[in-house]
Chain A
Amino acid sequence: MANFEIVAREDFSDVTYLLEVRHPLMAKAARAGQFVIVMSHEHGERIPLTIADFDRKKGTITLVIQAVGKTTKEMQQECVVGTSLYGVTGPMGIPSHIDKVRKVACVGGGLGVAPIFPHARAFKEAGAYVIGIVGFRNSDLMFWEDKFKAVCDEFIVCTDDGSAGIKGNVTFGIKRAIRLHPDLDEVVAIGPPIMMKGCAETTREHKIKTMVSLNPLMVDGTGMCGGCRVKIGSQVKFACVDGPDFDGHQVDFDDLMTRLKRFTTQEHAAVERWSETCRMTNPLKTLGIPARRGEEEALPDPFDEVAGG
């Protein structure tokens, strides 16, 4: 397999962008909860990205990427429609188990908003009552509201500054959903580890099954290196082949957050080195995308990066 052509691109903000990549076989095989490993060029690193959407008719998969590391920043600059990625492998990981549940809350925070969409759609298709809960820093950063509304029976938006929906993070949304729906069967949460930890803690006392999608650093994504090992209860699991979905009440999030910092020094050095050698200081100006409020000054949460490797 080669030549993974980018057929569409959309910029949600000056750090978040969407790439639609042609890969008919993958579009056919992909299911909610799976991810791909992307290599943007021959010298690149392998970064895991959750599949945010797939279109079997068009034969494309959709990735939503936050430009926080060297690779994702470089991709933001270079991946335009018509270019190709060097490698896209997948779909990896065990697909999420779409149980025959009656009522489910699909929770996405930050970068987790896009990957939670296939879950919401799959649960809807399986006949469940779907409550979509998404969290953003402010209303300007919101995207895919229409897509979610089309597959959700209820849709709750949470923003840190209250510029849209509930003021506060997604756990406020979960609390509201639990209050309104005491018969909630399951919560699925995707986002930065700290947010998933918060979700798991919110549902723990209510004994609601909570699945989270973990995003540790990876190299191969096929179970071969063990870099993505996570602690689940008393066991060690590899997120790439044993997950990425795990029972949120069992996950050791502190261990996950520590392990995500493995290469912080090298990552910072790589970004700095790249920024210096990069002639275009602000790629988005050339693309004509206005910077949005609240993003340029806020340093991205390092945990937002699904990238690694």
Chain B
Amino acid sequence: MAKKKTIRTIPQERTPMREQPASVRVKNFAEVACGFTLEDALRESERCLLCPEQPCVEGCPVGIDIPGFIQKISEKDFRGAYDVLTDTNLLPAICGRVCPQENQCEGVCTVGDSLEPVAVGRLERWVGDQAIAAGWANIPYIEPAPFKVGIVGSGPAGMACAADMAKAGCDVTIYEAFHQPGGVLRYGIPDFRLPNEVIDAEIGKLKQLGVKFECNTLVGRLFTIEQMIDELGFHAVFVGTGAGYPTMLGIPGDSLNGVLSANELLTRCNLMRAKEFPNFDTPLPIGKRVAVVGAGNTAMDAMRVCKRLGAEKVYCVYRRSRAEAPARAEEVHHAEEEGIEFHWLTNPVEVLDDGKGGVRGMRCMRMELGEPDDSGRRRPVAVAGSEHDIETDLVVFAIGTNANPIMGQTSSLKLNKRGYIDADDRFATSVAGVYAGGDIVTGAATVIEAMGAGRQAARSMKTYLGIRDAEVPYSIDGRGSGNRMFGIDPAERNFARIRAA
């Protein structure tokens, strides 16, 4: 066995990932981060200490065996690394790109205590990309089960749930209201962050598992959840319709023609390919000076899309400071490199009319941070007399979403007081056989959290349907017995070495 790695023997610097230079990439929609090379991946894999605590596994919403797949990379068993990844994560090429790793696996990495953490996301992406390039797919032998499962919504939650149910032998159909599957991966996340080919490849894998996709189908209106169970013969249904309904600014002028939601901008640009107008028919509002309100991932996407569409100036207007911005660190960094102007601690109070129904500017107040609020972040407070105008002709709001009302309008599913579907900790809803997960339960969150919810819901569905689930052996704390030595969790470290006499 190789000599045990220590924090001193591993490569000290985190391996950088090659990127398109900012000046070039603001003129195209090709992917910004070019990914690791083989050498990069091998070097970075050496940085994992394979520590016994494995905090990264705990930090991952789906509990990927992170040291396991990294070890396979360092052993040059790339297919093996892919196998380890796909044990828990169906879509490594997607998650490696879009997960907020700094708050998850990388945020708790042991190496990160003294050096920069292991680049788990980049390694995951590398393995996922190898799989796509080589056409690897782990199609297990599937024992058919006599159950029909319907999935509402083809986003990350629905896809993750569908994969697990298909592997359990069920006849799975995913319904999507748009004309193309993928949900937020397709309409929301732009090509330069998640290329369409990657989504297509991952959807292709689901099809190989036997999952059927039905697009142009608005469940709730074309047929209801209850009809799926009563008339269409589904034994169980998973609802993963996403949060949807964008929040308005609620300030004077927010119905002007130059004001739109980030969802609308991104859907027009990504799904409807309005960036290729007039080859594609959908038009897109193009601003010379664009102000995007909000600082989450969606806001960063909207800003960078506008920049690529030719905006001269793009401003980020956010009422808190950079430290509170909810976007992935890498996205903020990329946006800064691309010349986005950040107006931290700035809150819009009015969108100014140009007299023709359009926008000429946005009146803002400066803010300062006060006491922490419910979210634990310091509450921004307006500074008296700090009104100032920002010159802009397009205002994009990316300030979150509310629950989409269609499921509530058309089914008897119980909703919580915020309008999201009420699901228990096993993702069961108030209707027997109907499960729900992702943003429609929790409110806007991340791709990987939605996938985690989809998988958990699949587990509950299997129990409900009475399918033997070999993936979940009995264990008291749910971590599986594999991690234990004589029934003792290695993380506990509550045993001492003794020397036999």
Contact = CB atoms under 8 A, between A and B. Distances in A.
Residue with the highest number of chain A CB atoms closer than 10 Å, among B272, B283, B357: B283
B218 A90 contact: yes
A25 B232 CA distance: 11
A25 B223 contact: yes
Contact of B404 (A45, A92, A222): A222
Interface stretch (A116-124, A148-156, A187-195, A262-270): A262-270
Contacts of B254: 236
A89 B244 contact: no
Interface in B271-285: 272-273, 277-283, 285
Given A224-B267, A225-B264, A90 B281 contact: no
Contacts of A267: 283
Interface in B457-483: none
A220 B265 CA distance: 12
Given A89-B177, A223-B404, A242-B405, A29 B357 contact: no
A226 interface: yes
A137 interface: no
Interface string B200-224: 0000000000000011111001110
B260 A87 contact: no
Given A39-B179, A262-B257, A44 B281 contact: yes
Please indicate which of the listed interface residues B216, B223, B257, B406 has the most CB atoms of chain A within 10 Å of its own CB.
Answer: B216
A220 B267 contact: yes
Interface string B266-299: 0110001100011111110100000000000000
A interface bracket (residues with beta carbon within 8 Å of B):
35 or more
A88 interface: yes
B223 A219 contact: no
Counting chain A CB atoms within 10 Å of each CB, the highest count among B187, B268, B280 belongs to B268
Interface stretch (A103-111, A169-177, A204-212, A253-261): A253-261
Interface string B42-77: 000000000000000000000000000000000000
A65 interface: no
Interface in A227-283: 227, 229, 231, 236, 238, 241-242, 255, 258-259, 261-263, 266-267, 269-270, 273
Interface in A35-64: 39, 43-46
Contacts of A180: none
B325 interface: no
Contacts of B268: 219
B320 to A, nearest CB: 23
B177 A45 contact: no
Given A1-B215, A222-B218, A259-B255, A270 B179 contact: no
A277 to B, nearest CB: 10
Contacts of B263: 224-226
Contacts of B216: 1-2, 87-89
B248 A229 contact: yes
Nearest to A259: B257
Given A87-B179, A226-B263, A255-B255, A43 B281 contact: yes
Contacts of B23: none
Contact of A2 (B215, B244, B248): B215
A222 B357 contact: no
A241 B277 CA distance: 27
A70 interface: yes
A91 B222 contact: yes
B282 A29 contact: no
Contacts of B89: none
A223 B406 contact: yes
B122 to A, nearest CB: 31
A227 B264 contact: yes
Contact of A29 (B222, B246, B280): B222
B15 interface: no
Given A43-B280, A224-B267, A258-B257, 7 more contacts: A1-B215, A88-B216, A91-B218, A93-B221, A219-B268, A263-B285, A270-B278
20 contacts: A25-B223, A29-B222, A43-B279, A87-B179, A87-B215, A88-B216, A89-B216, A90-B222, A92-B218, A93-B221, A219-B264, A219-B268, A220-B267, A224-B187, A224-B263, A227-B261, A231-B255, A236-B255, A259-B257, A270-B278
Interface of A: 1-2, 25-26, 29, 34, 39, 43-46, 70-71, 86-94, 219-227, 229, 231, 236, 238, 241-242, 255, 258-259, 261-263, 266-267, 269-270, 273, 309
Interface of B: 177-179, 187, 214-218, 221-223, 242, 244-246, 248, 250, 254-255, 257, 260-261, 263-264, 267-268, 272-273, 277-283, 285, 357, 404-406, 409
What 3 A-B pairs have minimum CB-CB distances, sorted nearest first? A225-B264, A266-B283, A45-B281
